[in-house]
Amino acid sequence: MQLSEVTHFESLTTGAWPALSSEYLDGWVLRFAAGYTKRANSVTPLWQGALPMLQKLHYCEQRYQQQGLPAVFKLSPASQALDEVLAARGYEVVDPSSVQTRPLQAGDFAFDAAVQSSDTVSDAWFAQFAALNNVPAAQQANARQMLASYACPTQFATLYHEGQAVACTLAVLQFDTVLLYDVVTLAEQRRQGYARRIVGHLLAWAQAQGAKQALLQVIVANTPAIKLYAQLGFTEQYPYWYRRQRV
């Protein structure tokens, strides 16, 4: 994959998981969300810019220190030079991950009658999302505010089995791409095909909206998820990882 394509995907994934606030610095996006998730409390370098790298790096470290957080950078093959600088400064690698896509073609997926979905965050959906993702009580207000802030089309979905919520996830549609986040199944209901079904439902929704491809991100160490997404036709486009400041 060419670096320009990596930058395009990185811009999509940055926009599809909102922070509470963002600051743009010469090609870098600084994101802040009171500590809720690395993705929303890290720097994504989208392009090189004109300012000296170390000048920007020092500024980022100061900004996150003001928030009581370590500086964290989300890196990809398009930011190798920055990765080398951060490594030399003692930043540790966290959560090596994979960006994966698959094309969407008519007839590939169908709506599932057991899935309930909406374009807004309902109380019921958020309660299930918070429980399945172990969102701390102190962060739930921040999480809900973030999830309610989308301007682009979204779907917040729950799959029910015998009246019980057994899986939930969300989909975000940007340009010609649907991005899937937090596909989670109730622990005691895993390996029953529920994740496959809820993903299929959302991909059917995305196709109906005109999406041409689906994109997701998965931690490399999450072997069950990697296997599931391979079965659904997803293939890796490039790796990404975080570098976190040691404090």
Tokens 């928030």 correspond to 67
pLDDT at 130: 94
Position 187 pLDDT exceeds 90: no
Would you state the structure tokens that stand for residue 169, as one six-digit string? 């996830």
Are the beta carbons of 61 and 72 closer than 8 angstroms? no
Position 180 pLDDT exceeds 80: yes
Would you state the structure tokens that stand for residue 36, as one six-digit string? 């809720």
Position 4 pLDDT exceeds 90: no
Position 197 pLDDT exceeds 90: yes
Q: What is the largest CA-CA distance in the chain?
A: 58
pLDDT at 189: 76
With a CB cutoff of 8 Å and minimum separation 6, the contacts of 49 are 25, 26, 27, 28, 56
User: Which has the higher per-residue pLDDT, 186 or 7?
Assistant: 7
* Across 222-246, average pLDDT: 95
Position 226 pLDDT exceeds 90: yes
**Any idea how long the chain is?**
247
Sheet holding 43-45, edge to edge: 21-25, 28-32, 43-45, 72-75, 235-244, 92-103, 213-219, 177-185, 164-174, 154-161, 115-118
- Helix or strand holding residue 32 (H, E): strand 28-32
* Across 210-224, average pLDDT: 95
* Across 166-195, average pLDDT: 91
CA dihedral sign of residues 241, 8, 56, 181: negative
pLDDT digits (tens, 9 = 90+) for 85-107: 999 999 999 999 999 999 998 88
pLDDT digits (tens, 9 = 90+) for 26-85: 999 999 999 999 999 999 999 989 999 999 999 999 999 999 999 999 999 999 999 999
List C-alpha distances in Å: 224 to 30, 82, 128, 185, 196.
32, 31, 21, 12, 12
- Mean pLDDT for the chain? 94
Quick count: other Cβ atoms within 10 Å of Cβ 133?
12
Pairing mode, strands 21-25 and 28-32: antiparallel
* Across 129-133, average pLDDT: 92
What is the pTM assigned to this prediction?
0.92
With cut-offs at 50, 70 and 90, classify the pLDDT of residue 141.
very high
